[in-house]
Amino acid sequence: MTQHVSPPRDGTGKAAPVDGPPPAWRTLTARADVRTLSLLGVLAVLILIGGITQPDAFLDTRNLQLVLTQASVIGVVTVGVTFVIMSGGIDLSVGAIVALSSVWATTVATQEYGFFGILFTAVVVGVGCGLVNGVLIAYGAMVPFIATLAMLASARGLALQITDGQTQVVTVSSVLDLGERDSYVLGIPPLVLVFAAVTVIGWLVLNRTTFGRRTVAVGGNPEAARLAGIDVRRQRLYLYLLSGLCCGIAAFLLIVLAGSGQNTNGNLYELDAIAAAIIGGTLLSGGRGTIVGSVLGVLIFTTITNIFALNNLQSDVQQIAKGAIIVAAVLVQRRTASTH
């Protein structure tokens, strides 16, 4: 941090109490770094565990590709959810929106339009659901929890109605090919490239744009944001649109990955995404959070799942560990928050 040593100009000529400059480690940037470092530490420990228990299967390029691919779908959703939570909102409908987008984009009728028909439909359905959420919350003055819970129920119901409970297998080869090894770019699966792009764009939007600033302001203190002249309602609308957009992109990735659309897709994504964001340091009450933290949260969860599967541990153990990690992460955060 730059410290300016020029003598303070004093307009009144009267003495006034002076705050001592806080130590550099207390500044915002440094605090964010501590949090990110601790998440990286957790990830490093996990990698160590994976490497020791399964040296061959875990420390392997294919496994790295696998973990990143598996993280892509939920990762893209989490980036959107992070914005919403940072603004003090919540989006419980992301899993259902992914499901609806994925089935709408894989109906026989949509598939006739090929690759772009599927991509376009997935994104438009996602954005459309986000628009409904946003209008209800921003202009209908509905509590986000309730509005998105209603969206969860209706989107799942609509997805079921579209599919009639059947699995819609994708026959468009250009879509399927995107999930095959032949499409890897320099060894990186296209899904992972999309995830990386969404992460970078999300980071830039949050940290380098007025949109990101407004998001933080609305989440940190909505009344102050309003009195500072920010259009709080319009910002909220945009945030749920953004979350819907991420769901649409994630739905397309899921179609590529699973080669099909199904009304059960995106099961419990809302909880996974919220958990990842919170582990990544996003305050559930809004106003603070980082994209990097959220993405690390996703990677931590995916890596745990991977290590457990490679070690053939069963789902009961996996669930217990997942719960324990959420609690531990939140406790560590509270400690960090109180000591800094």
Partner 1 sequence: MAPEPPLLSMSGITKSFPGVRALDGVDLDVQAGEVHCLLGQNGAGKSTLIKVLAGAHQPDTGTIRWRGEDVTLRSPIAAMRLGIATIYQELDLVEHLSVAENVHLGHEPTTAGFVVRGRAARASTAQLLKRLGHPEVDPGRLVGDLSAAQQQIVSMARALSHDVRLIVMDEPSAALDPDEVDNLFRIVADLTAEGVAVVYISHRLEEIRRIGDRVTVLKDGRAVAGGLPAESTPTSEVVALMTGRNVEYVFPDRPSGPPAAEPVLSVKGLARQGEFEPLDLEVRPGEIVGLAGLVGSGRSEILETVYGARKPSAGQVLVDGRPLRPGSVRAAVRAGLGLAPEERKAQALLMLESVTRNVSVSAMSRFSRGGWMDRGAELSAAREATRELSLRPDNPSVPVRTLSGGNQQKAVLARWLLRGCRVLLLDEPTRGVDVGARAELYAVIRRLADEGLAVLLVSSEVPEVLGLADRVLVLREGSVVHEAPARELDEHRVLDLVMEGSPAS
Partner 2 sequence: MTKLTSRRGMLFGAAALSAGAVLTGCTSNDPDDGDDKAAADNQPAADDKPGKQVTIGFAGPQADHGWLNAINDNAKKRAEKYSDVTLEVTEGSNDTAQQIGQIETLINKKVDVLVVLPADGKALTQVGLKAMRAGIPVVNLDRIFNSAQAYRCWVGGDNYRMGLNAGHYIGERLKDKPGARVIELSGPDNLELTQQRTQGFDDALKNYSNIKKVARQAADFTVESGQSKMAQLLQAQSQFDALWNHDDDQGVGALRAIEQAGRDDFVMVGGAGALSAFQAIKADSGVLKATVLYPPTMAASAIDLARALGQGKGVGGLAEYEIPSSVTCYSAVVDKENVDQYMSTGFK
Between CA 58 and CA 21 the distance in angstroms is: 47
What's the closest the beta carbon of residue 19 comes to partner 1, in angstroms?
5
Closest CA to 85 of 248, 279, 251, 225: 279
Nearer to partner 2, 82 or 265 (CB): 265
Residues 6+ apart with CB under 8 A from 79: 198, 199, 202, 246, 291, 294, 295
Q: How far apart are the first and last CA of the chain?
A: 17
338 binds partner 1 (CB under 8 A): no
Between CA 218 and CA 87 the distance in angstroms is: 5
35 binds partner 1 (CB under 8 A): no
Nearer to partner 1, 164 or 223 (CB): 223
For helices 269-279 and 94-104, give the axis angle rounded to 10 degrees.
130
Sites of contact with partner 2 (CB under 8 A): 54, 56-57, 60, 62-63, 66, 69-70, 99, 156, 160, 164-167, 169, 179-181, 254, 257-260, 262-267, 305-306, 309-312, 314-316
Between CA 88 and CA 145 the distance in angstroms is: 11
Nearer to partner 2, 109 or 141 (CB): 109
Q: Select from partner 2, partner 1, none the partner in contact with residue 183, using the beta carbon and a kind-dependent cut-off of 5 to 8 Å.
A: none
Residues 6+ apart with CB under 8 A from 335: none
229 binds partner 1 (CB under 8 A): yes
Q: Select from partner 2, partner 1, none the partner in contact with residue 8, using the beta carbon and a kind-dependent cut-off of 5 to 8 Å.
A: partner 1
Nearer to partner 2, 155 or 239 (CB): 155
Contacting positions for partner 1 (CB under 8 A) = 1-4, 6, 8-12, 14-22, 26-29, 208-211, 213-214, 216-217, 220-221, 223-231, 287-288
